Structure 1
Amino acid sequence: MTSQDRKDGIPAGGAGGEGARVPVTDGLRFAFGTLTVLPVRVTRWDRAAARAGMLCAPAAGLVVGLASAALGGLLLLAGATPLLAAVATVAVPAVLTRGLHLDGLADTADGLGSGRPAEEALRIMKRSDIGPFGVITLLLTLLAQVAAVSGLYGESWARGAVAVAVAAVAARLALTLTCRTGVPPARPDGLGAAVAGTVPVRSAVLAAVLVTALCAAAGGLFGISGSVRHTLAVLAALGAAQLLLRHCVRRFGGVTGDVFGALAETAATVALVVLSLG
Structure 2
Amino acid sequence: MSRPGALRDGVRLATGTLTVLPVPAPVTVDREAAGRAMALAGLVALLPGSLVALVGWAGSALGAPPLLVGAVAVGALAWSSRGLHLDGLADTADGLAASYDRERALAVMRTGDVGPIGAATLVLVLLAQVACVAALVEQPLLSGAAVVVSRAVLALACASGVPAARSDGLGAMVAGSVPRWAAGSAVLLAGVVVTLAALASGTPWWSGPLAAALAVLAAGAVLVRCTRRLGGITGDVLGALVEVSLAATLAVLATAA
Report TM bin, short chain. over 0.9
Q: Does residue 236 of structure 2 align to residue 252 of structure 1?
A: no
Task: Indicate the residue corresponding to 2:131 in structure 1.
Answer: 147
The structure 1 residue matched to 2:242, chosen from 264, 267, 270, is 264
Residue range with higher mean Cα deviation, 117-126 or 35-44: 35-44
Q: Which runs of 5+ in 2 are unaligned?
A: none
The CA distance in 2 between the partners of 1:151 and 1:174, in whole Å, is 24
Task: Indicate the residue corresponding to 1:242 in structure 2.
Answer: 220
Which residue identity lines up with residue 22 of structure 2 in the other structure? P
Aligned pairs (5 A) from 1:1-278: 19-20=2-3, 22=5, 24-43=7-26, 44-153=28-137, 156=138, 159=139, 161-223=140-202, 226-278=204-256
Partners of 1:237 and 1:268 within 8 A in 2: yes
Aligned-partner SS, 1:184: coil
Distance change in 2, residues 1:185/1:211 (3 Å): same
The CA distance in 1 between the partners of 2:6 and 2:111, in whole Å, is 37
The CA distance in 1 between the partners of 2:4 and 2:153, in whole Å, is 23
The CA distance in 2 between the partners of 1:221 and 1:72, in whole Å, is 15
The CA distance in 2 between the partners of 1:48 and 1:23, in whole Å, is 7
The CA distance in 2 between the partners of 1:89 and 1:208, in whole Å, is 23
Deviation of the 1:26 alpha carbon: 3.0
Partners of 1:21 and 1:48 within 8 A in 2: no
Q: Tell me the alpha carbon deviations over residues 95-142 of structure 1, each in whole angstroms, 9 at most, x when there is no partner.
A: 011111001000000011123311110000111311111011001001
Residue range with higher mean Cα deviation, 103-112 or 57-66: 57-66
Deviation of the 1:50 alpha carbon: 1.0
Q: Percent identity?
A: 44
Deviation of the 1:206 alpha carbon: 2.1
Partners of 2:165 and 2:172 within 8 A in 1: yes
Q: Which runs of 5+ in 1 are unaligned?
A: 1-16
The CA distance in 1 between the partners of 2:75 and 2:209, in whole Å, is 25
Aligned-partner SS, 1:260: helix
Partners of 2:169 and 2:235 within 8 A in 1: yes
Which residue identity lines up with residue 95 of structure 1 in the other structure? W
Deviation of the 1:36 alpha carbon: 1.4
Aligned residues: 255
Deviation of the 1:22 alpha carbon: 4.5
The CA distance in 2 between the partners of 1:207 and 1:261, in whole Å, is 17
The CA distance in 2 between the partners of 1:120 and 1:246, in whole Å, is 19
Q: TM-score, normalised by structure 1?
A: 0.87
Partners of 1:30 and 1:42 within 8 A in 2: yes
Aligned-partner SS, 1:268: helix
Q: Tell me the alpha carbon deviations over residues 226-278 of structure 1, each in whole angstroms, 9 at most, x when there is no partner.
A: 32101100110111001100000000000000000000000000000111114
Partners of 2:164 and 2:234 within 8 A in 1: yes
Deviation of the 1:178 alpha carbon: 0.6
Q: TM-score, normalised by structure 2?
A: 0.94
Deviation of the 1:220 alpha carbon: 1.7
Which residue identity lines up with residue 252 of structure 1 in the other structure? L
Which residue identity lines up with residue 200 of structure 1 in the other structure? P
Which residue identity lines up with residue 204 of structure 2 in the other structure? G
Partners of 2:142 and 2:197 within 8 A in 1: no
Aligned-partner SS, 1:188: coil
